[in-house]
Amino acid sequence: MNLRKDIRNIAIIAHVDHGKTTLVDQLLKQSGIFRANEHVADRAMDSNDIERERGITILSKNTAIDYEGVRINILDTPGHADFGGEVERILKMVDGVILVVDAFEGTMPQTRFVLKKALEVGLKPLVVVNKIDKPQARPTEVIDEVLELFIELDADDDQLEFPVVYASAMNGTASLDPETQDENMKCLYDTIIEHVPAPMDNSDEPLQFQISLLDYNDYVGRIGIGRIFRGQLHVGEQVSLIKLDGSVKNFRISKMFGYFGLERHEIESAKSGDIIALSGLEDINVGETVTPPNAQEAMEAPLIDEPTLQMTFSVNNSPFAGREGKFVTARKIEERLNVQLETDVSLRVDPTDRPDAWKVSGRGELHLSILIENMRREGFELQVSKPEVIIREIDGKKMEPYERVQIDVPSEYSGSVIESLGTRKGEMADMTQSANGQTRLIFHIPARGLIGYSTEFMSLTRGYGILNHTFEDYRPLLNGRIGGRRNGVLVSMDKGSASTYSILNLEDRGTNFMEPGTEVYEGMIVGENSRDNDLTVNITKVKAANNIRSATKEQTQTMKRPRILTLEEALEYINEDELVEVTPESIRMRKKILDKGERDRAAKREKKKSEE
């Protein structure tokens, strides 16, 4: 069997914030591909604004380096389970994975998620214990945790014989010994060359190239990124594209790109084992196969996990609609959602019975909230409903998604966390206490029990708790309501500007969400009621201009800071009868029915229906 010993294809997988992207940075810098005077940003692979702000990877990206005559193609993948669709496709393109694990935190929920995906496709991981320079690092225990996780995930004997490298990506050092560090990462490069299998060289067979990722460029249009599994490709060549539905389209390859460092550069030809991008066909999609016209053999499409969460996106119809956004019409919003579908295989967009609303389904709250955040930054105005889990029918039974939750908290808060998850139908699977006063809790909980939980969790643990969760499986649907907000809201009865006088008068009724001077409209949510019912309030009232004054009251009254909710917090906060209005400048929460009289009549009808 011929192998291409001049090439290695690897993916880097890990839990969020365990240092994947920083590790890739160091591999790039130490390979000598940058000029001595070239400025390279930290986390160079995170090119998207939101990725940089949040310090997370959302989109998979590929790069390549040369080491001692070997081209190493590296694919950096997201760690969040919400972007698992990206991880699944990447793993089909590579022959090995680097599993990065934090030397202090050890294995975490997303470590489990990404490792499970890698083992399922038969890849052998190389383990990097990162952040070895941390004072609290515990490399030996972490390797034991990793081994236990491998066994738990049914790794075969070959996969269990994984090599280990101890590294500090931040310092650019690595070693095969946990006690010392070499001055560079040479041992990591050597371990990759030695342990990651070289791809087969079957370039004399008929072409098979599968699209795993999509990109878009204004000049050349849609770009398909993938790996050549068999044969050769040349610019100008006539090829066939086998679509997912089995139909075939013929086209000529107009441009082909290879990767080196952070650059994508034009190439004339490529062969089996190479990871490349090609352009020339408009409607190329993930999972489709490029073959010669005379040897059309499709590859199996990657299995992508189904969405677990959905929400309704609709045209903004609030009294402030059209004030702050450039794109406000149904046609523009639908076009934008269709563009997202071209590159995001985990997303679904379905029409509703209204022409100005769509049911958008994704892998989680983060997945959908980042789409909304991108849209508002691009100038869109829209309204979105509360996220709901997708209930499936399996073998005639209604089933709902369950999540595996891992929580790390100071031990004094564990009791209140256990109680709060119990009320959301969570079942505790494990509880361990460490010597440093921390408790780790493992729960299985219906996914709908986690909607809106993170805000409550942060206040229960005074911000010291760490919560991570990943999709576990589908289980029989539990009856009754789970989770949700306990308090009612303060709803504006009028249109105008929030006044300091009204805000001060409302402070004993609940929590204020408004800065003085903020414009509000009837039906807009302006605060949280301290009780469980909604309360309509006048937040625009100003003090009567009479000359009766208290000598001391005005000097002693100070206003509490308002609670300003982020997009994610607002999406978690709202109930079924509420919406989040999203514009480039504002995030507002509102009732679906703005008029109080109409709201009351609708509530009576709903109550009557439920009694029947």
How far apart (Å, rounded) are the C-alpha atoms in residues 38 and 451?
45
Tell whether the torsion through CA atoms of 451, 457, 463 and 465 is positive or negative.
negative
- Cα→Cα distances 292→46, 289, 411, Å: 36, 10, 62
To which H or E segment does residue 404 belong? strand 397-410
Q: Would you say 19 is a known binding-site residue?
A: yes
> Is 131 labelled as part of a ligand binding site?
yes
265 labeled part of a ligand binding site:
no
Residue 461 is assigned to a ligand binding site: no
With tokens 């029915």, the residue in question is 593
**What is the spatial distance between Cα 441 and Cα 461, in angstroms, rounded to a whole number?**
13
Q: 543: which residues sit within 8 A by CB, 6+ positions away?
A: 499, 501
Residue 21 marked as a ligand binder: yes
Whether 132 has a binding-site annotation, put simply, is yes
First to last CA, the chain: 72
Q: Residue 279 corresponds to which amino acid?
A: S
Q: How far apart are CA 136 and CA 85, in angstroms?
A: 34
| Contact (Cβ atoms closer than 8 angstroms) between residue 333 and residue 315 | yes
Sign of CA dihedral 319, 322, 327, 331: positive
Residue (of 75, 336, 112, 15) closest to 212 by Cα position? 75
Token pair, residue 583, equals 């514009």
Q: How far is CA 121 from CA 13, 96, 115, 151, in A?
A: 14, 10, 10, 16
Neighbouring CB atoms inside 10 A of 156's CB total 11
Cα 258 to Cα 251: distance, rounded to the nearest angstrom:
20
Residue pair 517/472 in contact (Cβ under 8 Å)? The answer is no
Name the residue type at position 600.
D
Separation of alpha carbons 24 and 181, rounded Å: 18
Q: Is 130 annotated as a binding residue?
A: yes
Asked if residue 20 belongs to a known ligand binding site, the reply is yes
Contact status, residue 297 vs residue 248, Cβ threshold 8 Å: no
Annotated binding site: 17-22, 130-133
Q: Which residues are annotated as a binding site for GTP?
A: 17-22, 130-133
